Each structure stands twice: as structure tokens, then as C-alpha cells.
Amino acid sequence: MKSFSQIGLVMGLMLFLVGCTTKFVVKGPIGKSMSEYDVSKTQEALEQAEIEQPQLEWINRETGNLYRVRTTRIFTNDNGTKCHEYGIFATINGKQQQMISKACRQANNSWKTIN
């Protein structure tokens, strides 16, 4: 039997995959290297942090790039919206890169990058 957290994770991913009105974007050089699959995995990492799994790692089978997303802080912004600060650590074409970003949950349950 699936827990409510797991059901929420699946529902959130389904909303993202069918095309939310607010598309989740990873910015910077790392974001430019990401496929739609990698972006969806980043959003999945944010969802998993909600259920005590602060890190997700994967290798994109098409590009060979390695990504590790780790939530470093969960906070509530001035509008009362739940937000995450997270780091993306990537090996892209053999070169290590990292970035820190923030994303907040939207009314439609998707995530929106805020910086």
C-alpha cells in the first residue's frame, strides 16, 4: 500500500509531466545541459526531500552525464509558500560543475525556480 507521501510524489510528477502551467526550469550551465528527463528528476528530488530523502542521483543514459541533487534547506517564504534550497552537482562531459538554487511550490503543486 502506498503512503500519502508516495501518492503525493506520484501526483506531483504526473502534473509536471503532463505540462504544468508553470514549467520548472533549471538555470545556468547545468540547466543548459539537462534533458527533459533530467529536469523531471530534479523535480523528483525536491519531492523526495519532503519524505526524508534529501538526495537523488542519476546518470542520463543518453548523454552519460551524472547529476546529484541535494536539498540543503526547506523553508517558508514571506508569502507562506514552501520552498527548497538545493544544490546540483553534475559531471557533464567529464567536467564537474555545481550550483545552488531555490524553488518554491506553486498552487498547482509544481515547483518554480525563484533565483
What mean pLDDT is predicted for residues 68-74?
Answer: 92
Tell me if 113 is assigned to some domain. Answer: no
Kindly report the average pLDDT of the chain as a whole number: 81
Tell me if 44 is assigned to some domain. Answer: yes
Task: Name which residue leads in pLDDT, 108 or 64.
Answer: 64
Q: Based on the structure, what is the number of domains in the chain?
A: 1
Per-residue pLDDT tens over the stretch 37-63: 999 998 899 888 877 778 899 999 999
Residue 57 domain boundaries: 4-108
CA 99-105-111 angle, to 5 degrees, is 55
pLDDT confidence of residue 23: 63
Tell me if 100 is assigned to some domain. Answer: yes
Whether 1 has a pLDDT exceeding 70, the answer reads: no
Phi, psi of 97 (to 5 degrees): -140, 155
